[in-house]
Amino acid sequence: MDHIKKALNDYAIARWGILLLVGIVLFGNYYVYDAFSTLKDLMSREFGFSNTQYGLFVAFYSIPNTFLLMAVIGGIILDKLGIRRTGFLFVFLMTLGAVITAYGASEAYSNGGFGYHFMNSFLPDASPQLKMMLVGRFFYGLGAETSIVVVSKVLVKWFKGRNLALAFGLKVGFGRLGTYAALRLSPIIAGDGHGLDNAIWLSAVLVGIGLLAMIVYIIFDTKLNSQIDIKKESSDNDRFKVQDIFVILSNRTFIFIALLCVTFYSAVFPFNAFAPDFLFHKFGVTYEKSGEIASYIPMGTMFFTPLFGFLIDRYGRAATSMIFGSTLLLLVHAAFAFTYINPVFLMILLGIAFSLVPAAMWPSMVKLVDYKQIGTAYGLMYSIQNLGLFTIPILAGAILDYTNPGNPETLYYTPTMVMFASLGLLGVLFAILLKRDDIKNGLGIDLPMNKKD
């Protein structure tokens, strides 16, 4: 009797094992991004960072993806060259950036190490540490966003039609676990400043482990490609073409989901970067305690995002979930701006909002574009997202400096929080427009994900 030979992605244990590998990549990626939020005050004291300079440091991550369109270019490279070569290249760049950033914060560099005197020879208003760390942040951002695009395509390749929303939810969970670990560990390791460079070096080590995980994934991906008809998938009709970019951008529903992406994430990630400092000044908690409270956001999303992904796989309602999550985000930021409601409660609600929208948004892309365009589509999403991730941290820092002249001991954060709430309001609008398009055009975004094409 003839037996049908199964490919690796037909086995559940292989699919979930792959998710674990790329989850390690995401863990290190998000740890590096968020490791500095609880270190803001220490970096200000040790390296002379102003609020605006700290905002610039956070925003520098987004320069290659906003102004050089590297997430888009990376998505095109991904669609043309494949997962393996693209994944290794950009995870390596991410790791290189994390190492340079850690070196810029190290005692060896501050004591006159390689590059210190050169960095000290220009722009005297910025410390040599800031300038070297900006270089590292640039390379980290150069690789980090495209590595997330790669992971997204990995999940589509291995999970499409098989719990895809749950896989994306767990993907988000791995990232939030990295954020949670960064918020909890960084202030403990840094202490009163003596362990600052150790706290930052840990982030470089973790992203290096992610590079090793990507290398292991490449071995499995090579095996899978030897089992499936790659030639059929890469025929002339299915190869990516530059015109595909314009096809994607002419899709009005894609534009709405991209605008929701940029407003929603701009109201969350930059807020996370300032959250420990905000909690310290408004609620009078210690920096260690403020990092603990801020960690409730990723802690909640670690559990809620996979749960919501499972429910969307089974029951659908992705477009509706995006409306509800955006509305909840708006209400939480408004409460932070104008009330003194228990911040732990508000952080938990923000964690729920931050679970609903990603769990619904990212897997919905497979209903809007062809597989051959998926890397480019995600790349466009991340580049548009990075426009907000670049501008909003700088704007938040500038608002803080403008509304707090003289650098007072207690910063007045209300105008900054109003800005975040305004972004939430825009997100609600775009989510409603997305839902309207889904109903009008029968796109199936609100239908269950567990349905094979």
Region 243-261: what's the mean pLDDT?
A: 89
Half-sphere exposure for 380 (CA within 13 Å, toward CB): 22
Within a domain: residue 198? yes
Task: Tell me the C-alpha distance between 62 and 141, whole Å.
Answer: 6
pLDDT computed for residue 239 by the predictor: 58
Within a domain: residue 447? no
Nearest 10 degrees: Cα torsion 181, 185, 186, 191: 170
Task: Render pLDDT for 124-180 as a digit per residue (tens, 0 to 9).
Answer: 888 898 899 999 999 999 999 889 889 988 998 888 778 888 998 899 889 888 988
CATH of the domain at 259: 1.20.1250.20
Within a domain: residue 397? yes
Within a domain: residue 126? yes
Within a domain: residue 3? no
Evaluate if residue 310 carries a pLDDT over 50: yes
Region 226-249: what's the mean pLDDT?
A: 63
- Number of domains forming the structure of the chain: 1
Sign for the CA dihedral angle at 313, 318, 320, 325 comes to: positive
Percent share of the chain, pLDDT over 70 = 94
Note whether 389 and 59 are within 8 A (CB). Answer: yes
Evaluate if residue 97 carries a pLDDT over 50: yes
pLDDT computed for residue 376 by the predictor: 84
Residue 15's domain comprises: 11-441
Task: Render pLDDT for 356-391 as a digit per residue (tens, 0 to 9).
Answer: 999 999 888 888 888 778 888 888 888 888 888 888
Note whether 108 and 183 are within 8 A (CB). Answer: no
Within a domain: residue 92? yes
Note whether 444 and 364 are within 8 A (CB). Answer: no
Within a domain: residue 209? yes
Task: Render pLDDT for 183-217 as a digit per residue (tens, 0 to 9).
Answer: 888 888 888 778 888 888 999 999 999 999 999 99
Within a domain: residue 263? yes
DSSP class of 35: T
pLDDT computed for residue 240 by the predictor: 58
Q: How far apart are the first and last CA of the chain?
A: 29
